[in-house]
Amino acid sequence: MKTKLFKSLTISFATMMLLSGCGGQKSAEKTVESSSTKASTSDVTSGASEQKYTDPKEMKDEYDIIIVGAGGAGMSAALQAKEEGKNPVILEKMPVAGGNTLKASSGMNASETKFQKEAGITDSNDKFYEETLKGGHNTNDKELLRYYVDNSASAIDWLDSMGIKLNNLTITGGMSEKRTHRPEDGSAVGEYLVHGLLNNIHEKEIPIFVNADVTEILEKDSVVDGVKVTVEGKEKEVHGKAVVVTTGGYGANPEMLEKEKPELKGYVTTNQEGSTGDGIRMIEKLGGQTVDMDQIQIHPTVQQDKGILIGEAVRGEGAILVNQDGKRFTNEMGTRDNVSAAITALPDKSAYLIFDAGVKERVKAINFYEKQGFVKSADSIEALAKEIDMDGKTLDTTVQDWNKAVEAKSDTEFSRETGMDNALNKGPYYAIKIAPGIHYTMGGVKINDKTEVLNKDNKPITGLYAAGEVTGGLHGSNRIGGNSVGDIIVFGRQAGEQSAKFVK
């Protein structure tokens, strides 16, 4: 089957550019422009009219496996199920595919990978496990965590086999090794990953329907056997031998967020507006169990006007955080909860990321932030300080002290140990104003390591699987940056494989 590239898509809920892959379809599964991709009444898209998906008229009454949600977990599940010889379908309520995956920035965490070995990095699954457990304050579901770390390297290989190469390594807070895998050019992982997965979805002729809002999961004789879906204003039942739910979290649902954590009322969110917890509520109606619903992650570095996350790779490649006085105030590579708390404790409850041209060269996502107007720049540190209404001499002293710490490989002030490979000494210099924002919901439906959804008696709901942010337990009370992308690939694949085995 011949393939071709989609044109660029600008997505307002992600405010990112997505280069997406599209393939020609056989006549039975031809693709058309969705009627809602030009101008959604809910303002979820802008300029998305070039994206193409399977014609709603081609939706069948039955498939082997129904996958609800077209983010990274859903597309991974579909591709793995197809590899297993099954006939999956993807149903997505939004006008475009990608979900929160599209907004992922830093990378995908994995240990003992071929790319680490090529870079001379000695890592281990056990170390990855222990550091993630520590980052989650020892509250992680250990069964899920063990499965994740032990299968992370094979997930990197699986992506590579499909032309999705994550061989550029960096580090995130809470990790001691460079195990955050990025695209080769250092660009944001999300758009690249969605592009590659969509390419493969179309190449393998997997039908993917958008504006297809699943409202109910159906059961017959205590076995899940389909869904109710509204498409083009009409509700219909689509039946399948298994259902995989990959609808994401609830980070864009103010009511659910406030119910679980009232203190988060008014916080900006980085989530795309489709992250409203639909899958969790549908599964609860079937008797599914939820875990850690009050565990909601605040990301420390969020641009407040547009709710855009400034990726952890910026700090991982050497940026520092300073307060309005121009002084560092925390270990920038601490876990997200600790860094967020340090920023919130400042009088202005905000801070500045300070970095140089070297960081900008190594983190391509900064080009996007610059186009959005978030980045201040100047040829010298003192001139940069003037741009952000800060004392120039103080900021210059802070940067010079930091550079000495980098040279000595010892941060005596805040005990930072990672993201210290390069000094900040290459002009021009840059600043981005940030503050914490709602980023990720660690809670969700309870699954086992086979991605089977568990009821309140810890028994699998027959025929029902889930993967990605819709699930809870893996991350405990604090998610490590880069682990959510690993989560959606590792457990998305597992959901595809296990649902295919169930169908057999």
Structure tokens at 55: 């014609």
Collapse the DSSP code of 368 into the 3-class scheme (helix H, G, I; strand E, B; otherwise coil) and give the result: helix
Q: Quick one: which of 296, 284, 294 has its CA closest to 466?
A: 284
Quote the radius of gyration of the chain (alpha carbons, Å): 22
Residue type, 265: K
User: How far is 260 from 1, CA to CA, in rounded Å?
Assistant: 48
Question: Which sign does the torsion angle of CA 18, 22, 28, 33 carry?
Answer: positive
Phi–psi pair at 355, nearest 5 degrees: -155, 175
| Four-CA torsion 131, 338, 291, 277, nearest 10 degrees | -120
User: How far is 34 from 431, CA to CA, in rounded Å?
Assistant: 40
User: How far is 501 from 62, CA to CA, in rounded Å?
Assistant: 18
The catalytic residue positions are 336
Phi–psi pair at 11, nearest 5 degrees: -120, 115
DSSP single-letter state for residue 501 = H
Structure tokens at 109: 């965490």
User: How far is 309 from 102, CA to CA, in rounded Å?
Assistant: 12
CA 387 remoteness from chain centre: 32
Residue type, 144: L
CA angle 206, 209, 212 (to 5 degrees): 145
The β-bridge relationship of strands 223-231 and 234-245 is antiparallel
Strands (DSSP E) found in 84-204: 88-91, 108-109, 168-170, 180-182
User: How far is 54 from 49, CA to CA, in rounded Å?
Assistant: 14
Contact 415, 172 (CB under 8 A): no
User: How far is 438 from 27, CA to CA, in rounded Å?
Assistant: 44
Contact 216, 233 (CB under 8 A): no
Collapse the DSSP code of 432 into the 3-class scheme (helix H, G, I; strand E, B; otherwise coil) and give the result: strand
Crossing angle (nearest 10°) for helices 483-503 and 189-203: 20
**SS3 of 17-39:** EEEEEEECCCHHHCEEECCCCCC
Structure tokens at 200: 């493969």
